[in-house]
């Protein structure tokens, strides 16, 4: 019969035995470059917890960060991020802050309480300004809440519609955002580094962002079929950050209020109402609302639809490019996406798209090698 000391010693060996057992069940192909096991996502209809859709504010000319004088106000635009709203928010807000601080004022209104509005408001506070946010909705009812949250500014502009000057602005925003988010990594803001596996359709295929800006996509490597567990010939690995909107946005709102910021729930019907605000500087982060408020007809919605499965703590990697589909593992559920509908104003989820997203992911993950399954 074991005494107490012998029992405790026996129990202490269990984690070691478990880790040894884990190691022998798979080779290096079953782990990320950072050493985390690659586990299969359990995709089935009875694990679906919700399906939602959101409208991304897209401009073929790219985001608009610019200043203009309207009556006695200085309006600084910060909108039109397309599929890179969360990713670029700190970067474009930094550019907007630089424009604001060229004025002699120290008080501003920020229109919108999504990712762009909150980052703009926090940067202005850090610069010593008094800031009031005006928004018709707050988290969790903002467009930013209906976002995947992977750090990578995709679908931001049309290459044949932008100038070299915009490319410079885009890179500047990207680099600022990349650095700001690294300061937020951790559970408080719901930001973490994560492996991405990009499924490519041919050997020479590449993704333009990580190829152009390789210093912002660490551990970038092409993988042969023997180096990953997926049923795919051509796979590219990169590391990015994943930002969870349900954690990040409330944390940002809390920081804004702790720093003394005011929030006013208000919907503006036209530009005239905007220009009646008391603040001399107005930072416009209204996203799609800028089409009506500021007559930007280049601004259109890109509809994206997401289906969430029950969370799986053991899944900690991203899949992108599986026939246009993508999977992000978040604490609020396994996110499955794969739609991109231009100029679609109806945010109602499409049942056919839901079926395609679920079935496509089920086939992909059923074909994946998982020695622990």
Give the tens place of pLDDT for each residue, 231-280.
999 999 999 999 999 999 999 999 999 999 999 999 999 999 999 999 99
pLDDT above 90 (res 16): no
pTM (2 decimals)? Answer: 0.91
Q: What is the pLDDT of residues 55-86, one digit of tens each?
A: 999 999 999 999 999 999 999 999 999 999 99
Domain boundaries defined on the chain: 31-54+197-242+303-366, 55-191+244-299
31-54+197-242+303-366 CATH, one of 3.30.9.10, 3.40.30.10, 3.40.50.300, 3.30.1490.100: 3.30.9.10
Contact between residue 79 and residue 300 where contact means Cβ atoms under 8 Å apart: no
pLDDT value at residue 20: 43
Supply the mean pLDDT for the chain.
Answer: 92
Residue 87 vs residues 176, 265, 323: alpha-carbon distances, Å = 10, 25, 23
Q: Which residue has the higher pLDDT, 80 or 1?
A: 80
Query: Any residues with CB less than 8 A from the CB of 275 and at least 6 apart, and which?
Result: 70, 71, 73, 282
Q: What is the mean pLDDT of residues 184-200?
A: 97
pLDDT value at residue 25: 64
Angle at 197 between CA 193 and CA 199, to 5 degrees: 155
Q: What is the mean pLDDT of residues 330-339?
A: 96
Nearest by Cα to 178 from 190, 166, 170: 170
Query: What CATH code is assigned to 55-191+244-299?
Result: 3.40.50
Contact between residue 360 and residue 323 where contact means Cβ atoms under 8 Å apart: yes
* 13 — pLDDT class (breaks 50, 70, 90): very low
Report the side by side order of strands in the sheet with 107-111.
64-70, 73-79, 281-284, 107-111, 130-135, 262-265
Both tokens of residue 124?
């202005």
């Amino acid at each position: 019969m074991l005494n107490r000391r012998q029992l405790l010693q026996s129990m202490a060996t269990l984690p070691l035995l478990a880790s040894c057992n884990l190691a022998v069940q798979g080779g290096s192909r079953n782990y990320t470059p950072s050493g985390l096991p690659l586990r299969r996502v359990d995709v089935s209809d009875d694990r679906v917890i919700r399906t939602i859709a959101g409208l991304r504010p897209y401009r073929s000319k790219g985001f608009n960060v610019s200043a203009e004088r309207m009556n006695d106000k200085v309006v600084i635009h910060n909108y039109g991020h397309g599929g890179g709203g969360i990713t670029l928010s700190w970067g474009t807000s930094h550019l907007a802050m630089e424009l604001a601080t060229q004025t002699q004022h120290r008080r501003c209104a920020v229109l919108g309480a999504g990712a762009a509005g909150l980052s703009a408001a926090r940067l202005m506070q850090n610069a010593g300004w008094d800031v009031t946010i005006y928004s018709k909705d707050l988290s969790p009812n903002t467009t930013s809440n209906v976002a995947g949250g992977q750090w990578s500014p995709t679908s931001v502009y049309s290459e044949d519609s932008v100038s070299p000057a915009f490319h410079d602005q885009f890179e500047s925003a990207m680099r600022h955002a990349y650095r700001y988010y690294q300061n937020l990594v951790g559970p408080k803001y719901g930001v973490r580094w994560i492996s991405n596996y990009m499924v490519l359709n041919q050997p020479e295929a590449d993704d333009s962002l990580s190829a152009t800006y390789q210093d912002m996509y660490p551990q970038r490597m092409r993988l042969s079929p023997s180096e990953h567990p997926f049923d795919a010939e051509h796979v590219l690995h990169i590391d990015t950050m994943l930002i969870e909107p349900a954690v990040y946005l409330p944390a940002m709102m809390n920081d804004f209020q702790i720093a003394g910021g005011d929030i006013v729930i208000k919907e503006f019907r036209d530009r005239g109402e905007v220009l009646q605000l008391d603040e001399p500087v107005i930072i416009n982060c209204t996203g799609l609302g800028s089409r009506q408020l500021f007559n930007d007809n280049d601004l259109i919605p890109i509809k994206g639809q997401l289906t969430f499965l029950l969370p799986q703590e053991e899944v900690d990697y991203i899949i992108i490019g599986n026939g246009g589909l993508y999977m992000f593992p978040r604490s609020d559920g396994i996110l499955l996406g794969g739609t991109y509908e231009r100029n679609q104003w109806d945010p109602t989820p499409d049942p056919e798209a839901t079926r395609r997203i679920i079935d496509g992911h089920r086939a992909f993950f059923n074909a994946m090698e998982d020695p622990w399954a």
